[in-house]
Every structure is written in C-alpha cells, then in structure tokens.
Amino acid sequence: MPTLYRQYRPQLFGDLFGQEHITKTLERALETGRVAHAYLFHGPRGTGKTTTARILAKRLNCLKPKGGEPCNKCKLCLAAQNNQNMDIIEIDAASNRGIDDIRALKDGIGTRPSMGKYKVYVIDEVHMLTNEAFTALLKTLEEPVRHAVFILATTEFHKVPETILSRCQVFRFRRATDKELSARLGFLLKQEKREVDGEALEFIIRRSDGCYRDAESLLGQMLTLQDGLVAVGDLTDFLGLPPREMIDQFLTALVRGESAPALAAADDAFARGLDPEQFLQESIVMARDGALDLIKKEKNDAAFVREAAALVRLPLIIRTLIQATQDLAYVPQPMIALHLAIVVLTNDSVNTARTVNTVNTAQPLPDASPFLQNNRKTQSVNNAQPAHKATGIEGSGINLERVKSIWPQLINKVKETNPVASTFLRAMEPSAINGKALQVQAFYALHRNFFEKDQNKQPIEVILRELLGDKVVMRCFMAETGPATSVTVQDKQKKQEQDLMMAVKEAFG
C-alpha cells in the first residue's frame, strides 16, 4: 500500500499546506516568466521543500501551464510525476556527498534538455556536499547556462557557504502549526473516507512537531491498524510506546515525591521491553503538555495535572528528566539514568510536594541525597589536607600558571577516552606544584576518590606529561571549604548531579 505521504503528495502549488508565502511568490514569478537561475529552499524536515521543488521543476517544463501552476496533463507533466522526465535530475547529497554527481552535472550541463525547455537540477540536503563538491557547484552557478535551473534544498541553512547563497533566490519554509497539521490530516482522512478519534489526532499532531511528513506517516500507520475508528491506545501499542496511563502514574508519583510508585512504573516499563529513552521522552512531553495546559487553564485528563503541587513541581521534573535523557549517553545501563532522576525527584530532603508554599522553583536541582552527604562529610574530615602553596618546580619550567593554562586542553583530551573523568577534572582545580607533585584540589570526595585509583589517575598523568613535556604526579586532596570564586552555582549543581550519578551507579548499577 502506498504511503499517504506519497499517495497524496501535492501536485500543484495550490495543494501545498502552510507555505503560501512561498508558493504565491513562485506562482506570480512563473506567471510573468521570471525564472531564477538558482533557488534555495531551507527549513525543518518534512515541511514540503522537496515537494515544492518537484512542482516547480514540473511547472518549468510544462507544455501548457495554467498561470503559475503546471497543467499536470501534458506528457512532460506526466513524465515528471512518474520520475521519467530526463530533464529533471534529482541528487541526494546526503547519500553520496555528491562529488561524482556534481562532476557529471558539470559535464552534462552544456547539452540541451532532451524533452522540455529546462534542465532542472534538484539537490536535496545540499549542506552535505563536500567542500570539493561545493566548489564545483559554485563554478556552475557562477557561469549560468540559460537552459539550466538549480533547486537546492536543505535543513541546515547555516552550513551552506555564503558564496552559494549569494547566487540563489532563497525561500524559508516554516514548521507547520497545529492548526495546519490538523487541516492537512483532516483532508487526508476525507480522501481516505476514514475517521480517527480526536485524542488520537491530537496525539499525532503533538508527536509530529510541525512536520507534515511525520504527521502523515503516523496517520498512515494508524489507518493500517484497523478498519473502524482508530483510538490513541491502538497507536501507542503499535509504536511500542509506553501506555499513557503508565506515564501518568509515573508523573503522578514524581509530583507527589513518592519513590516507590515511580520506580514501579519505570521498572514495569522496562520489564515490558520498552525503551528507557522513549519512556523518558514520553514523560517529558506529557509533563510539558500538562504544565502548559495548567498555565493556559486548558482541559487535560491526566491525573498528575490534578495534583495540588503539579504546577510547582513540573518544571523541576521536566528539567531533571531532560538531564536524565542526556545522561543516557554516559551510563553503562540506561535504567541508571532513569533511576537517578527518580532519586533526585523523590528525595525526602527536597520533596516539596508536602510543602508547596515554601518551594523555591528557581532552584533547578535539589541537593544530593542524604547518604551521599554523610559520606561526603566523613570523607572530607578524614582526608582533608592543607593545600600546598608552593608555586613551581625549581628549574623544571613547570609552574602552576603553566598547569592552569593547559588544564582546559587536558580536560578536552581526557574527554575523548573518559568523559566521566573529564567532567570530574572540570570541577577540580590545580592548586600547587610541589617537586614533581601536582596538587589538585577536589571539592567532592567522590572526585578525589576517583583519582586515587591508579587506573583513573595514570592516564591523566600520561596526558599531563605530553602537555607539559615533563613528568608530574597527580595528588588530589579535599578542599576544606568551597572554591573561592571560580565555581558558579551552576557548577556546584552540576557537581551534585555527578555525585548523585555515581551514588546511584553504586546503588543500582
């Protein structure tokens, strides 16, 4: 079965949804015979760039155009619709980066079009071209050939060289609004003589994020599910998404600050084989929608929205879940990130659900969990050492300034092989050089302990030697007080998150 997107791909400018600012301009120009040598279409994916390029290409060669529109009946229009028009050449820069294609294009551009008036080159994802291919393309743009028209399309406008841009007529495609998506879906349903329930339609629109192609493809999937009215539950099952009730249960627990039901929902999702990333993303979207509906005083059926603390708690919940999504890249098992988020959000010391009045919503992240704080306190008492203030190695040329100057390089280099160590180093400070010993101040026991282990410390020393040209031994010690000025509140929160991360790793991992 052909996809809806293909089956109902607009064949006229007038059929295109939501890009009237572009199609009207194009139509008017074509009507009066003004054809640019090169066009550049840019904008988010799935907003109609390629479709518009194809209609334009077809119109340029149409034998009996109707104003700005193609006739869709002449042999050249039909050939174009069946991808058989030899004069319309589509190049996907994303798949082969284009140099051979661009060379072939350069060679072939001189020959006359074989069927119609113009040779039209459509280059999709043009930003993917290699520099070499761009240079070749620029040459052809600089020496326009009367019978050749270029239509370049890209989702990443900023990656297209200025030299290319300056030769093109530029059109910016915009993301579809909910209303436009809804109109388009309504149109498709009418064509298919089908119905879906309102909630399901809303679900599609929300998930599509302004992208026509996504919306149409989701609707298409939905329609293949069953013959009758399609409901939102059918679709979540089909797409392997966590059921709405499950996310609702999860969010309700988080709003209340209750760890057990939150963990149960997460573990249930995992046991069903759902992907933690998907679970997190669905939770973020649902929490965001809930928060927005609360602010706008709009109807929302979810249970968590009805909790008294919802509006106060949701910003922190959303932020923490977003952080968890980012953490997924750094944890050995994805569930750790999810568990960490739950610990952060249901920790008694920060559980604001019962004390809504006193909550400071500007505080983005709660303090570390109690067991970790205790741990930190003990360690820092036992291991605190005075900071040595000696400033350099006699005659070795390495002094503290030097170490400080290469510290950012060190962090970057370490990041390549050990992102965790790199994040820790970022939160630490070189404080003195004593003989061959580099004293590094840690503000958290976790960081100090980490670099006490030889397998963590040695790779750093190797890189230090490379950067400094001399061997140094790294000694980490606890700072008794917080860093003077260089650590911002954000850094501190970041450190607390990292601490928690490690604690959760120990607890769950």
Instruction: For residue 475, give the 3-state DSSP assignment.
Output: strand
- 169-172 and 38-42: which strand pairing? parallel
CB of 64 closer than 8 Å to CB of 71: yes
Q: How far is the CB of 77 from Zn ion (least distance, A)?
A: 3
Q: State which residue, 71 or 189, has the beta carbon closest to Zn ion.
A: 71
**Which pair of structure tokens corresponds to residue 221?**
């999937």
For residue 72, the number of C-alpha atoms closer than 13 Å in the C-beta half-sphere is: 10
CA nearest 42: which of 124, 97, 119?
Answer: 124
The dihedrals phi and psi of 438, each to the nearest 5 degrees, come to -95, 120
Angle at 280 between CA 496 and CA 225, to 5 degrees: 175
For Zn ion, give the closer residue by CB, 72 or 373: 72
**Order of strands, sheet of 429-434, starting from the edge strand that comes earlier in the sequence:** 429-434, 437-442, 473-478
Of 97 and 117, the one with the shorter C-beta distance to Zn ion is 117
Residues near Zn ion (CB under 5 A) are 62, 70-71, 74, 77
Least distance to Zn ion, CB of residue 63, Å: 5
Specify the residue, 63 or 109, whose C-beta has the smaller distance to Zn ion.
Answer: 63
φ/ψ of 410, rounded to 5, equals -60, -50
* Nearer to Zn ion among residue 56 and residue 291 (C-beta): 56
CA distances to 105, 188, 260, 310, 422 from 252, in Å:
59, 36, 12, 8, 36
Q: Which residue reads 């599609």 in tokens?
A: 204
Residue (116 or 276) nearer to Zn ion, CB: 116
List 171's β-bridge partners, or say none.
Answer: 41
Backbone angles phi, psi at 492, to 5 degrees: -65, -45
Chain-centre distance of CA 295, in angstroms? 25
Q: Which residue number, 74 or 165, has a Cβ lying nearer to Zn ion?
A: 74
Instruction: Closer to Zn ion by CB, 62 or 432: give it.
Output: 62
Give least dist CB 58 to Zn ion, A: 7
Joined tokens for residue 416: 């390549």
Please name the residue that has the structure tokens 């149109």.
187
Which residues, in sequence order, are bridge partners of residue 121?
Answer: 89, 150
Interatomic CA distance for residues 105 and 281, integer angstroms? 43
Residue placing its CB nearer to Zn ion in the complex, 64 or 146? 64
Q: How far is the CB of 54 from Zn ion (least distance, A)?
A: 13
CB of 11 vs Zn ion, minimal distance in Å: 11
Q: How far is the CB of 73 from Zn ion (least distance, A)?
A: 6
> Which residues does residue 41 pair with via DSSP β-bridges, in sequence order?
153, 171
- Least distance to Zn ion from the beta carbon of 56, Å? 13
70 or 98, CB closer to Zn ion? 70
What's the closest the beta carbon of residue 189 comes to Zn ion, in angstroms?
29
Distance CA 413, CA 465 (A): 13
- Least Å distance between CB 234 and Zn ion? 42
Query: Which residue type occupies 183?
Result: A
Name the residue nearer to Zn ion (CB basis): 23 or 431. Answer: 23
In the complex, minimum distance from the CB of residue 68 to Zn ion, in angstroms, rounded to a whole number? 13
* Helix, strand, or coil (residue 120): strand
- Tell me 332's DSSP state: S
**Min CB(85)–Zn ion separation in Å:** 11
**DSSP 8-state code for residue 240:** T
